[in-house]
Amino acid sequence: MSPDGIKNDFDVADLIADLVESSGIKPGAKLVLAYSGGVDSELLALGLSEFAREHTQYRYLLIHVHHGLSDNADAWASHCESRADFYGIPNSIKRIVVDTGPRKSVEAEARSSRYDAIKSEMVSGDALLTGHHLDDQLETVLLALKRGLGPKGLSAMGSTQVFDGDKHIIRPLLSISREQIEMKAKGLGLVHITDESNSDDKYDRNFLRLEIIPRLKARWGAIATTASRSAFLCAQQQAVIDNEVSERLPAFISSSEWGDSLDLGLLAEQSVSWQSLLFRGFINRLGFAPPSQTQLAQSLSQLLTARRDAKIELRMGTLLIRRYQGRAYLSSVADEKCEPHVRKFIEVDTSSLLDKDVDISLLLSVRNRLSITKVNNSDRVRLPEMGLQVSIRFSVKGSTRCHPSDRVKARELKKLWQEYDIPPWERERVPCIFYGEQLVCAVGYWIDTEYVCEQGELGLVFTPHQV
């Protein structure tokens, strides 16, 4: 719906119906209302109950999130349970713990935890309804300006959007002002709660709501409507940009066992503006939170201008960016922390490898195991001699020598890593099999020529896999 489509009188059930239809929500999907019990969600709950009576092809749920931040939280939960029964809609009370530690934004932490709780009740194709209205949209635009955001941020909220990748979010009241909602609720005699924290102007939204927006409206009565129109236009422009990025980006990306990577040489040939748009698109494509413009510019500068042999490893929040052979690779800082090996040196019982049937599984790290089987086909390592120590090692010295069967001569390990095009951060994760002090196999890459089995000879296959 256009932001200019404001009605003095409105039917909430009709607003819901319009957005459910335009979103293409399929029969059987669950419509989930984020139900705080405040006047906005109370009016929406009433409208949803009216919609539900005429649309039995959907399932319905009211979710109230108990943050535990107010002395009244229990009373609010009871109110929502009681009203849900009155509306005849199933309800769920989700109790969460909000991290209020040092340097934490209570608003941001509560919002993140709240959405996590809501998503736990949803599956692909479901839709979340929220009570955001026209004045919320103005607040969002003003906060985006305060943060220096571009068209994407200034697009603020859409009446319908994709949510959590495979779900919907719809905002039936987005073209309706707070004043209209309060008048409608009063006329209907709706009982709703009032959150005392809404009067605390230490929170940015409350400061805008209490101190700034009333003065703006006193001067320019239609500012919420015109700001919403600007957000709508920004969203249109952003959609064009996103479409162009999605068409151009695949030419810059290639996939390998290390994941998707971005061609920095090709990126360097683009204008500065397109470098930023494409790199941001790459980050978004892999599901990471978008960096600030300053972070993005600094990262691009280092990736594109640092000397060729420089080791580039950049951290931006939860995102880790690395450069290798002219390509940018992204990973999660949290995933990296989960990867440490159980230990650098794992000894394997040699006699167990010489048994008739070998089927061994060893834990290498939190997420990885190594299976060992005995076969007489495929690429395999010769059996060790009885009494010879067999070990699995990581982070092996680069001076260690080995002669892969597909190479003419023996080489130092540091040279082999380069020849096999293995990124530096992946090398320490490769299980290396030793017989005594001889490196006989880099699992997944090569077997030393002296330890390759002859045709029909029994040997060992080492296979890594994720837990």
Handedness of CA 176, 179, 184, 188 (dihedral sign): positive
The per-residue pLDDT for 8 is: 53
Write the CA distances from 352 to 228, 349, 360, 447, 460, integer angstroms: 71, 6, 9, 21, 12
Smallest Cα–Cα separation from 62: which of 131, 138, 164? Answer: 131
Residues in the chain: 467
Average pLDDT of 333-342?
A: 68
Average pLDDT of 68-90?
A: 93
Smallest Cα–Cα separation from 183: which of 44, 37, 8? Answer: 8
Residue 301 is assigned to a ligand binding site = no
Residue 358 burial (10 A CB sphere; 0-12, 13-18, 19+): middle
Residue with tokens 């690779």: 329
- DSSP character for 123? -
The per-residue pLDDT for 438 is: 96
Bridge partner residues of 439 (DSSP): 434
- DSSP character for 252? G
The per-residue pLDDT for 363 is: 86
pLDDT classification of 131: cutoffs 50, 70, 90: very high
Question: In whole numbers, what is the pLDDT of the chain averaged over residues?
Answer: 92
Cα dihedral 442, 448, 451, 454 in deg (nearest 10): 110
The per-residue pLDDT for 136 is: 95
CA distance 172 to 7: 13
Q: What are phi and psi of 322, to 5 degrees?
A: -130, 155
Smallest Cα–Cα separation from 114: which of 92, 91, 96, 90? Answer: 96
Average pLDDT of 383-407?
A: 94
Bridge partner residues of 338 (DSSP): none
The per-residue pLDDT for 337 is: 66
The per-residue pLDDT for 49 is: 98
Residue 314 burial (10 A CB sphere; 0-12, 13-18, 19+): middle
The per-residue pLDDT for 341 is: 65
The per-residue pLDDT for 104 is: 74
What fold, for 249-337? Chorismate Mutase Domain, subunit A (1.20.59)
Q: Per-residue pLDDT tens for 204-246?
A: 999 999 999 999 999 999 999 999 999 999 999 999 999 999 9
Cα dihedral 293, 294, 298, 303 in deg (nearest 10): -10
Whole-number percent of the chain with pLDDT over 70: 97
* 463 in Cβ contact with 370 (< 8 Å): yes
Above 80 in pLDDT, residue 145?
Answer: yes
CA distance 120 to 378: 45
Residue 38 is assigned to a ligand binding site = yes
Residue 36 is assigned to a ligand binding site = yes
Bridge-based pairing of strands 368-375 and 359-363 is antiparallel
Dmax of the chain from CA atoms? 90
Decide if 12-219 and 249-337 have a common fold. Answer: no
The per-residue pLDDT for 4 is: 45
Cβ atoms within 10 A of the Cβ of 418, count? 13
Which of 69-78, 100-109, 277-286 has the least mean pLDDT? Answer: 100-109
Q: Per-residue pLDDT tens for 289-317?
A: 888 889 999 999 999 999 888 889 999 88
CA distance 41 to 181: 10
The residue among 130 and 426 whose pLDDT is bigger is 130
Whole-number percent of the chain with pLDDT over 90: 74
Element (H, E) at 419: helix 413-419
CA distance 197 to 200: 5
The per-residue pLDDT for 197 is: 85
- DSSP character for 212? I
The per-residue pLDDT for 339 is: 61
Average pLDDT of 97-117?
A: 83
Q: Per-residue pLDDT tens for 8-27?
A: 589 999 999 999 999 999 99
pTM, entire model: 0.80
CA distance 331 to 316: 11
What fold, for 12-219? Rossmann fold (3.40.50)
Residue 41 is assigned to a ligand binding site = yes
pLDDT classification of 1: cutoffs 50, 70, 90: very low
The per-residue pLDDT for 340 is: 63
The per-residue pLDDT for 365 is: 79
Q: What are phi and psi of 196, to 5 degrees?
A: -65, -25
Which of 2-11, 94-103, 136-145, 329-338 has the least mean pLDDT? Answer: 2-11
Residue 37 is assigned to a ligand binding site = yes
Any idea where the domains of the chain sit in the sequence?
12-219, 249-337, 345-466
